[in-house]
Copies of this chain bind each other. A is one copy, B any other.
Amino acid sequence: MAHYPNTPGMTGVLRPLRIEGDILDMEVEGEIPAQLNGTFHRVHPDAQFPPMFENDQFFNGDGMVSLFHFHDGKVDFRQRYAQTDKWKAERAAGKSLFGMYRNPLTDDESVKGMIRGTANTNVMVHAGKLYAMKEDSPCLIMDPLSLETEGYTNFDGKIKNQTFSGHGKIDPVTGNFCNHGYAATGVLTDDVSYFEIDPQGNVLFETFFKVPYYCMMHDFGLTQDYVIFHIVPITGNWDRLKAGKPHFGFDKTLPVYLGVLKRGADGSDIRWFKRDNCFASHVMNAYQDGTKIHFDTCEAKGNSFPFFPDIHDDSFDPVAARPFLTRWTVDLASNGDEFTSIEKLTDWIDEFPRIDERFIGQPYRHGWGLVMDPDMPMDFLRGRASGFKMNKIGHWDLVARTEDCWWAGPESIIQEPCFVPRSADAPEGDGYIIALVDNLITNYSDLVVLDALNLPAGPIARAKLPIRIRSGLHGNWADASKLPRAA
C-alpha cells in the first residue's frame, strides 16, 4: 500500500494530491467574464507512488495536469496524470521504479535507458495539441480537452535534441513555438539546441551550440530577431550523482553569461556576454532596442533554490536568495563582452513573472508576477505551510514605473498567474489575470479572475474547487480558436 514519507516535501502544503477527476460547471462566486472563452492548463508534480528516496526533491513527481475550460460564462474542471513512459512503467509495476531527481544511477534496473521525464513543469497548447514539458526529456503530447496522453514525440525525427525545455514561447508575430533543450546529447552534457515549430506543428529548424558550462537552463528570452540564453551556475556533475547528492548545486565562484543567437542562424554564431556571479531563473520578457537587447529576469544576489544548495559547502543564504525583477541590457554594437547595464526594477521580492504574451519579444509595458512576504524569503520549498508566503500578485507598469498588487490574505498562497487579453485586439494589458489561490487552512483552491490593470480591486470571480491543488509550476491560457475542436 502507498506509504508516503513523513517529510516536508510530502506533508502539509506539499502533501500529494493524486486525484484524477472532473467537475462540470464549477461553483462560482462573482461572475466569470463572458469574454473568457478558452482553456487554462497548469501542472504540478504529484508522485503516483511513494518515491524511492525519502528526501528526494518535492518536484520529482509525476505531472498532474489541471484544465480549467472556460465557455459560456462557465468553467469546467478536469485533472489527469500526464502518462509518461515513467508513469506507465510504474503503473504496471504498482510502485516507483525511477529514483532520484535527474539521477539515472538511482533507477531500478528494469527501467535503465527509458525516458525519465515527468512532464510536470509546463503545459501549453500549440498546433491543436497540449505540449507537456519537463526540461530533461522530450515533449509529451496530450489532448488539450480530454487530457488523454498520446506520448512522447521527436516531431518525426526532426528534433535531434534529447530534451525539450519547459518554457517554450509562441512568437506572436510568426506564431512559431520557439524552444530550446539543454543536456541535449545526454545527462550533464554541455550541448544545447534551439528550434522553432510552425503553427501547424512542423519543425522549421534546429541548431546546436555549446554552453560555457553545464547548468540548469530553465528558461530563456526571445526577441523578434534573437534568442537569448542566460547561463547561471546552477550546475552539476557525475560525482554528485554517484554520491547521491542533488543533481544541481549553486556555484558562486562562476561568472554568469548571456548568450545571443540570431534566430535561424547556426548555433556556432552565438555571442556570449559576461557578468559577475548572481542567480536568475525565470524571464519576464526580452526585446530589441536598436542594437541593444533588454532581458528582464528575476535576479537574486545568491542562490534562490534551497533544494539545490551550495555546490562547495551545501550552504544556503535565504537573504541573498531573494529575487527582484531586474533588467539586463547588452549591446550588440559593443566590442567587448560586458553588460551595458543591470537595473533593478522593483524592491518587491518577486518570481513567476508573466506578461501579455501578444508582446513576447516586443517592447512592452505591463508585467505581473508573484510577490513574496519579505520575512520569509524563498525558503518555502523546505518547509511547511507557515513558511509559504507567496501570497500577492504584483503588477508592474514598466513605462510609468508604478506597481500595485492584490493580497490574497495571510492564509493563502498563490500559484503562477496567467494573463488573458480581453479580446484579440485589446490594448496591451487590457484583460484578466487568472491564478490559483490555495487556502492553507481550509485546503480549498479557488481559481481567481482579476482585472489585470486593477489588481487591488480584488477578484471579479472565484471558481471554487473542493480540493486544494498541490503547488505547481507553470500554466498557460489558450483561446478557444486554438483548441482542436469547438468548445
Contact = CB atoms under 8 A, between A and B. Distances in A.
A444 interface: yes
A20 interface: yes
Given A441-B441, A466-B15, A466-B467, A2 B26 contact: yes
Contacts of A74: 1-2
A3 B26 CA distance: 9
A49 interface: yes
Interface string A434-451: 000000011110000000
A73 interface: yes
Summarize A's interface: helix, strand, loop or mixed: loop
A396 to B, nearest CB: 31
A1 B75 contact: yes
Contacts of A1: 25-26, 28, 31-32, 73-75
Number of copies: 2
A2 B28 contact: yes
A53 interface: no
A94 interface: yes
A238 interface: no
A19 B73 contact: no
Given A466-B19, A467-B19, A467-B467, A25 B4 contact: no
Size category, A interface: 35 or more
Interface in A57-83: 73-75, 77, 79
A408 to B, nearest CB: 18
Nearest to A20: B22
Given A17-B466, A19-B23, 16 more contacts: A1-B25, A1-B26, A1-B74, A2-B25, A2-B27, A2-B74, A3-B28, A3-B29, A18-B24, A19-B465, A19-B467, A21-B21, A21-B22, A21-B79, A441-B441, A443-B443
Interface of A: 1-4, 15-29, 31-32, 48-49, 73-75, 77, 79, 91, 94, 441-444, 465-468
29 contacts: A1-B28, A1-B31, A1-B32, A1-B73, A1-B75, A2-B74, A3-B28, A16-B27, A18-B24, A18-B27, A19-B19, A19-B21, A19-B22, A19-B23, A19-B465, A19-B466, A20-B21, A21-B21, A21-B22, A21-B79, A24-B48, A24-B91, A25-B49, A25-B94, A442-B443, A443-B443, A443-B444, A466-B468, A467-B467
